[in-house]
Amino acid sequence: MKAKGGEYVWFDGKFVKWEEASVPVMTHALHYGTAVFEGIRGYAAKENVFVFRLKDHMERLHRSAGVYSFSINYSPNELSDATIELIRKNQMKESCYIRPLTFVGLHGIDLNVTRDSPTHTVIIIFPFAKYFKGDGIRACVSSWRRIHDSSTPPISKAAGNYLNSILATQESKRNGYDESILLDRSGNVSEASGENIFLVRKDKIYTPYTADSALEGITRDTAMTLAKEMGYEVVERPIPRTELYIADEIFLTGTAAEIVPVTSIDGHPVGNGKEGPVSRSIREMYGKVVSGDVKQYRNWLTAAW
């Protein structure tokens, strides 16, 4: 994003003008990546903005910080309330992306981060519509392997983890693809650079275990919940690379991407090279849910206005 977002950001309990939100150059997170973050969507619908699974995201932010022994000075409820206040403060009435970020501040240059290390939390908001353009994306299997729990835990949504994703994304773009799929250290499918992955074979849906270095995605959980409710069988299991080439359908899930079909892998068409019926049905149901049109899932939505 090249332009600024909302007029204000929320910074350690205060509303600060976008241009005035700054940090010292010796901020620990700038040097060592000691930060955790979330990505949250707000959907404009019915003359309101519905924030999707807001508290779930803030609770995951706390879990991510806990992995690295960061302290977050605000509870999930306080951060959720601050998000709604920020939407109103910015008079944001269009679909938007919300970025909460907790980072270690002036700790010095040593690596012994503890719960006593100073941290700061910021919430940023900006207008946001569709992440991937078109009706489907072309992906490749990356030569880079996904980070592993034995070195850099994927279960924590930590800023430094995404250097791995940046390498994979750069490679895919250089080679003319829209997105990359990473394998875990055992050679099984893990996830895309910023999304979880699902395969469809004979109307059954398969997705890697989170133990295969995949993030515990909130949109992943949403897709699994909706798919089961719609009558699909959803199976978590290891997925070898070759299975990508024989899948009937493949789709990705993520806050930014939402539900997006993959139409080819490494130049191989997925199915008939178009979005399949299973992917389409889940994507369309997701759209209804986030717009507030499905009563049983309205507890996932927080109205801003």
Rounded Cα–Cα distance for residues 53 and 301 (Å) = 6
pLDDT of 255 strictly over 90: yes
Mean pLDDT of 163-178: 98
**Residue where a domain terminates, one of 73, 93, 127:** 127
pLDDT of 1 strictly over 60: no
Please give the pLDDT value at position 180. Answer: 98
Instruction: Residue count of the chain, please give it.
Output: 305
- Say if strands 204-207 and 233-236 run parallel, antiparallel, or are unpaired: parallel
Catalytic residues: 157
pLDDT of 3 strictly over 90: no
Please give the pLDDT value at position 133. Answer: 79
Mean pLDDT of 118-139: 93
Comparing CA positions, the residue from 253, 216, 255 lying closest to residue 39 is 255
Backbone angles phi, psi at 208, to 5 degrees: -65, 150
Residue 120 and residue 13 share a domain: yes
Q: Residue 17 is part of which domain span? A: 8-127
End-to-end CA distance of the chain: 26
**Residue where a domain terminates, one of 94, 127, 160:** 127
pLDDT of 2 strictly over 70: no
Comparing CA positions, the residue from 301, 286, 255 lying closest to residue 61 is 255
State both tokens at 75.
Answer: 């509870």
Decide if 94 is inside a domain.
yes
Please give the pLDDT value at position 131. Answer: 86
